[in-house]
Amino acid sequence: MEYYPWWTEEQKKFADEINIFVKEAFTEDIKTRWTRQFPWEMFKKAGERGYTGVGIPKEYGGLGLGATGACIAAEAFGRMPGPGRVFVGNMLGGLRQIIEFGTEEQKKRFLPRIAKGELGAIVITEPFAGTDAAGIETKAKKDGDVYILNGKKRYIVSAGLAVRHMVYARTSNDPEDIRNYRHLTAFIVEKGTPGLSVEKINEVIGFKNIQNGVLNFDNVVVPIENRIGQEGDGWRVMTAGLNFERTLISALVSGWIGELLRNTVPYTQRRVQFGRPTIDIPTNQLKIADLIIKFKIARLMAYYTAYLWDLGVDITIESNAAKVFNCESAMELSIDAIQVVGGDAVTPFYPFEEIMNVAKVENIAGGTMEACRLVIFRAALRQMAEEFKMQRRVIDPVLGVPIPVSDKMEKKDEINEEELLAVLAEDYRVNPGLFMSRSDIKEFFHVDDVTLDELLISLENKGLVKLYRSKKGIELAKATYEGLNKAHPLEYYRWFPSWVDESRKF
Ligand SMILES: Cc1cc2nc3c(=O)[nH]c(=O)nc-3n(C[C@H](O)[C@H](O)[C@H](O)COP(=O)(O)OP(=O)(O)OC[C@H]3O[C@@H](n4cnc5c(N)ncnc54)[C@H](O)[C@@H]3O)c2cc1C
């Protein structure tokens, strides 16, 4: 595994150690893919060595190697898609929720158990609530010092194997709570709690040696001490874990891409067709080059995001971007690798078909590509607002055409309808197809929102301005044809390039 220059010596040593561990554990993983058994022995060993606690602070029994350490482990486990998914999704993916929202007592109770390898499950999805996770229907009704849970959860990795379940349930149907995302609550439900049962085990593509299933909660009594965060905090608890989990998934997936490379190159060096190894065929070389390029980018995305997390930076955009890029790349690259290798790649005797399958699954599990893109879109519009500001444009006095300018404008203290209309008309000259936003207008005047609204509505009533209103109120404004004519004579708006024949300017 290639180190990054910002890794600590401890993280580099851990990388060496975990890669040796995975190399040795790999055989058990392959055998259990055939027997469809969960590789308990390997997980036990990983727990004994504290690997499952790589991201847990040392005071709670972990190795304290941060998100970077957790990604190193995730990438190494990428050679083994099933255990890797459990490692990332269930062990590390459930951590942040407890670290950020758990009480001191809960951290002391649960984190050392995760560090020692106790298997957990993340329990969000339901038959009627997938991407729309806020729509979950499982109910938790408070009764004195306990909550009583009823409902069904599906697609749960480690169903039937997990000892600890991080479950999200609805504690309010009040429309106000729902609007404010205060209607859900998170609980830890332990295996063996009466009423918690596995309804069925699913058959899903890929991930041959782990279990995925449907859980049923029939009057499951959960003590209040197992509630993570306050009642109504469930949505915040759930989302706290997602950016961290998506970073880990992106590291896991770069491990899959590495595994494609590790198999494609030696295979094609040994496969001879038309008297030469297939690696000498130029089209195969181009596909292998793409594998290398995207392997490098995928790792960078995962580890740079982890580094930012360890520095305490908000990684909402980076973690979701890494998940989208790495998971989509893994899907495309597995298909390319299969093409380069040929028939052997679609047998289960090589890892290609399993990686193709799990890559497709990972375009859905842990947040679909669309859900991640929507998170990126919303976060970026907020966080990058400064970069998305429209640069002011003016008509250049010499050229007579609109050009962007960076000089600061003197704002006017006074505003009236006439001046406001003149600004909107001027904007027509520089951005003829665009409305002006409120903040664009406020670059010209010191004006409060109420006064601006009054002036705009008055101009609208006179037919001189057209407004765009959203739920928040008036957002955009432009001068109408009548407004433009009122502000200036046609001559003011006219412009012709120098090469236009005089006789054509009718
Ligand atoms: C193998 C596997 C393991 C999983 N493990 C777990 C687990 O351990 N715990 C757990 O709780 N869940 C788990 N899941 C569930 C997973 O998180 C959901 O499958 C996922 O969130 C998508 O939900 P859905 O499958 O119901 O698809 P739907 O929500 O029905 O979506 C179908 C399609 O519509 C798109 N879509 C939906 N809404 C929008 C929108 N607003 N805008 C744009 N596109 C949209 C989706 O992106 C998707 O492409 C797992 C799923 C799989 C397949």
Q: Is the CB of 155 under 6 A from ligand 1?
A: yes
Which atom of ligand 1 is found nearest the CA of 121? 8
In the chain, domain spans: 120-232, 243-383, 393-504
CA of 364 to the centre of ligand 1 (A): 5
pLDDT value of position 376: 98
CA dist 290 and 277 (Å) reads: 19
Which atom of ligand 1 is found nearest the CA of 207? 1
pLDDT value of position 407: 85
277 close to 268: Cβ distance less than 8 angstroms: yes
pLDDT value of position 500: 93
CA distances from 98 to 29, 107, 112, 138, 166 (A): 29, 6, 12, 21, 9
pLDDT value of position 194: 98
CA dist 37 and 347 (Å) reads: 20
Sign, CA torsion 453/455/458/462: negative
Q: Is the CB of 364 under 6 A from ligand 1?
A: yes
What is 120-232's CATH superfamily? Butyryl-CoA Dehydrogenase, subunit A, domain 2 (2.40.110.10)
pLDDT value of position 505: 78
- pTM strictly above 0.85: yes
pLDDT value of position 251: 97
Q: Is the CB of 363 under 6 A from ligand 1?
A: no
Ligand 1 pocket mutation, candidates 87, 131, 204, criterion most atoms within 8 A of CB: 131
| DSSP string for 127-183 | TTBSS-GGG---EEEEETTEEEEEEEEEEEETTTT-SEEEEEEE----HHHHHTT-S
CA dist 7 and 15 (Å) reads: 10
Q: Which residues of the chain have pLDDT under 50?
A: none
Instruction: Encode pLDDT of 110-139 as tens digits.
Output: 999 999 999 999 999 999 999 999 999 999
CA of 45 to the centre of ligand 1 (A): 32
CA of 233 to the centre of ligand 1 (A): 22
Which atom of ligand 1 is found nearest the CA of 129? 26
Q: Is the CB of 482 under 6 A from ligand 1?
A: no
In sequence order, which residues have a C-beta less than 8 Å from that of residue 360 and are 6 or more positions away?
205, 206, 331
Instruction: Encode pLDDT of 313-367 as tens digits.
Output: 999 999 999 999 999 999 999 999 999 999 999 999 999 999 999 999 999 999 9
Give nearest CA residue, ligand 1 atom 26.
130
Give nearest CA residue, ligand 1 atom 37.
131
* Parallel/antiparallel/unpaired status of strands 139-143 and 146-157: antiparallel
CA of 372 to the centre of ligand 1 (A): 11
CA of 489 to the centre of ligand 1 (A): 58
CA of 125 to the centre of ligand 1 (A): 8
Give nearest CA residue, ligand 1 atom 2.
365
CA distances from 190 to 164, 217, 227, 477 (A): 5, 12, 12, 57
As a whole number of Å, the end-to-end CA separation of the chain is 72
Would you state the CATH architecture of domain 243-383? Up-down Bundle (1.20)
Q: Is the CB of 157 under 6 A from ligand 1?
A: yes
Q: Is the CB of 124 under 6 A from ligand 1?
A: yes
Give nearest CA residue, ligand 1 atom 27.
130
CA of 366 to the centre of ligand 1 (A): 8
Query: May I ask the CATH class of domain 393-504?
Result: mainly alpha
Q: Is the CB of 371 under 6 A from ligand 1?
A: yes
CA of 416 to the centre of ligand 1 (A): 53
pLDDT value of position 241: 84
CA of 365 to the centre of ligand 1 (A): 6
